[in-house]
Every structure is written in structure tokens, then in C-alpha cells.
Amino acid sequence: MTFTELENIRPAARAGQSRQLQALDNCLECPVRSISVCSVLDRCELAQFAGIGRAATYRPRDILFMEGFPVDAVYNITKGLARLYRLLPSGHRQIVGFAFPGDFIGLPPGEHYGFSADAAVATTACRFPLDTFAAFVESRQDLLRRIHDSATRDLERARDQMVQLGPRRADAKIAAFLLGMRRRRSPVHESSVLISLPMGRQDIGDYLGLSIATVSRTLHRLERAGLILVVPNGVRVLDRQRLERLAAA
């Protein structure tokens, strides 16, 4: 819960530097293109667009950007998982969202980032400097619209999360979280019984407003009750019916 290990942040990462940069060359083969904002660009535009971005790779805990700093770039996650969070003076960390491959982040209302973002696991992202990005987008009405759609969906998700953060019981929060993660990862509404959880327990807790101990205990309780099976980096759903009923409560 408390996240006072700010000193642990790698010095090289503090300034929002990525570990490694390389040109974007094979956007056409990009696995997330179809679900990303760039899907509206044609072959020609895509080449231009690729020219202004760089692929950046991040190791766990590497920082993409920090709350309060001037917005200097926007990001499109292509692999891995980014945690979006706010740090409170008390030392608490509230995770305000996860960015999965295909998600677009980093365009707040003002001049400064409204939250921090770091890599939860090994992660890669297309990084676009704000000035060139803004210039490129300026004329592309459809791209602008796509970005707006992304923001609107983020808003909807934010409201979902508000409901989760409210005064609900821990088991209901966890159940809803699991189902939410599954829905998020698979466009097809009905999908595998295996839900992958790339993030750690601490992340889940800071997302739901629970302590790490309660997350662990609750998962275990759900397992004992036969709703799920806890496996490394995820859970297997055994009783979807009951899990959904619990999540709704």
C-alpha cells in the first residue's frame, strides 16, 4: 500500500527517459495497429506517422512520465503493461488505470501530466514527441476523432473504477476486477477461463483500494470457495456464474 520506495526509482528513469529507442519501421505488421488510434491511417500516412515516433522499451519500474511534469510526449503501448497512478503525500499510491497494448496515453487537459506512468512488466511503447505529434494530428480529423474516442472510453472506464473503489466488499471488488481484466484483454465477449494478471498484488490493491494482505486473502478465499484457481500470473475461472454474481453485488 504505502509506496515510499521512491528512492528505488532508477536515476536514469527519473527524468522520464526511456531505456532504449529505435525507429518505427514495421507499423504495418504491428500487432496492435488494428485496435490503436493509428488504425485510421492509410499506408502512406502511417509511414509519415512512424517517422515522428520511436519505439521505446521499458523494464519493470521504468518511468514513462511523471505527474506534474510538462507534457513532452504521448505514448501508444505496444507490449507489456503500464501503471497509471497518483502518489499522495501520505505515501499511498492510487492506481487510476492500467494501459494495455493498444492503449493511448499522455494527453491531459493542461500542460502537465495529470498522473504518473511506469512499466509494471517489460513493456514497449511508441513514443511521439508532443510538438510533432500535435502538428501531425492537426489536420487529420479522423485521427483526432479516434483520440477523442479513446478519451471517452477512458472516461467510461474511470467511472467503472469509481464504482469499484466505492464502499464495496473486498470479494466483490476482486471478482469484478478479475472479470474486468478478462473483458479488457479479449475483445470477444466470451473467452478463455484463464485470466492473466501481469501486475503484482500490490498493484491490484492500489487499484481497488485494498491492502495487499486483503487481496491475497480474498483470492485465497475465492479459491477455497471453488470460484477460481490461483495460478502463477493469473487465475483460472472455475465457476463463472458465481463469480459474476459476486461481482455484481
Contacts with DNA, residue ranges (CB under 7 A): 1, 167-171, 200-202, 209-217, 219-220, 230, 232
Nearer to its own copies, 19 or 168 (CB): 168
| Main-chain phi, psi angles of 194, to 5 degrees | -95, 120
**Stretch 160-199: interaction string toward its own copies, x if CB under 8 A:** -xxx-xxxx-------------------------------
Partner interacting with residue 144 (select from its own copies, DNA, none; CB below 5-8 Å by kind): its own copies
Contact call for residues 104 and 33 (beta carbons, < 8 A): no
32 lies in the binding site for its own copies (CB under 8 A):
no
Q: Which of 32, 130, 144, 229 binds its own copies (CB under 8 A)?
A: 144
Partner interacting with residue 154 (select from DNA, its own copies, none; CB below 5-8 Å by kind): its own copies
35 lies in the binding site for its own copies (CB under 8 A):
no
Partner interacting with residue 130 (select from DNA, its own copies, none; CB below 5-8 Å by kind): none
**Stretch 54-73: interaction string toward its own copies, x if CB under 8 A:** --------------------
C-alpha 130/C-alpha 177 separation (Å) is 33
98 lies in the binding site for its own copies (CB under 8 A):
no
Contact call for residues 60 and 166 (beta carbons, < 8 A): no
Partner interacting with residue 158 (select from DNA, its own copies, none; CB below 5-8 Å by kind): its own copies
Partner interacting with residue 134 (select from DNA, its own copies, none; CB below 5-8 Å by kind): none
Contact call for residues 54 and 22 (beta carbons, < 8 A): yes
Contact call for residues 112 and 69 (beta carbons, < 8 A): yes
CA distances from 232 to 11, 85, 174, 200 (A): 31, 24, 17, 11
**What are the residues binding its own copies (CB under 8 A)?**
1, 86, 88-90, 92, 94, 96-97, 107-109, 114-115, 141, 144-145, 147-149, 151-156, 158-159, 161-163, 165-168, 209-211, 248-249
